[in-house]
Amino acid sequence: PGRGGAATVAVIGWGHTGRAVARRLARMGLRVLANDPPRARRGEEGLLPLANVLRRADVVTLHVPLTLRGKDATLRMVNDSFLRDARRSRLIINTSRGWVVDPRLTCRDTTVEFVMDVWWWENRKLFRSGAEVRLPPIRFASPHLAGRSLEGMYAGTMRIHQRLCRFLGVEPRWQPPGLKAPDPIVVDGRGLSAAEAVAQASARVLDLGAISRTFMKTLGPAAVKPDDGFLRQYDSWRRTWSRPRREFSACRVEGRNLSPAAVAWLQAAGFRVNP
């Protein structure tokens, strides 16, 4: 929690994903501070300077594109200077692009930990096979599993199909198959906080804790040198570890002894809830 009760989350990048994350966080009663310099220059309201949001945030979540140069470059944006401004933060979450985080971070004089779903070696133009990467302190790690749900992959396939049909001047006819509803998730909220109820339901969809423990054994505690064999294995992990994950919105939670706050948090996360 933040010093005033509810945690404060800095959302860096105010595009489609950043806004969607912010809406869910706000529904959970968390304070959201947003930063997006290009949009701020275009006159969008409510966007704050980066140093301002970092110095006030308990958690930082990154939703920026990888921009290599210019005044809004995000390449190595999370560097030691960034961490000094974010020294009150406990978590930095990166689900955007690996190179947004500087692989040369020292992480001195900070207690921050990282949640990492994206990695430097995914960009084969910037990363040299076998180069050593220094790992920051990591709370959770996964091999770029965000977006690899059945619903997400079908939606992406549908968009590609429709755009290709428009380009070819033909009528789009393909439709994704109907997906069977997953089994209900039973959550007994007795003794659980709202956050713990969400964590329990989420683990039934995708056990991030187990994935992270397995992945971290491969990465090692401090540094990794991804060679060609590692890169092939990494691509395999992406394909297999999230199969057949479903979106939270497809899942129904059968609640037992859930508090109103737990119900609200589960719904904000996207679950359908029968309290």
Tell me the catalytic residues.
97, 122, 144
Least Cα distance to 206 among 129, 137, 270 occurs for: 270
Could you give the CA distance from residue 16 to residue 21 in angstroms, rounded to a whole number? 9
- Give the tokens for residue 3: 């010093």
Backbone angles phi, psi at 64, to 5 degrees: -110, 155
The answer to whether 30 and 8 are in contact (CB under 8 A) is yes
Could you give the CA distance from residue 135 to residue 114 in angstroms, rounded to a whole number? 10
Amino acid at 2: G
Could you give the CA distance from residue 107 to residue 77 in angstroms, rounded to a whole number? 14
Amino acid at 84: R
Beta-strand runs (E) in 173-265: 185-188, 223-224, 252-256
Burial label for 90, CB within 10 Å (0-12, 13-18, 19+), is middle
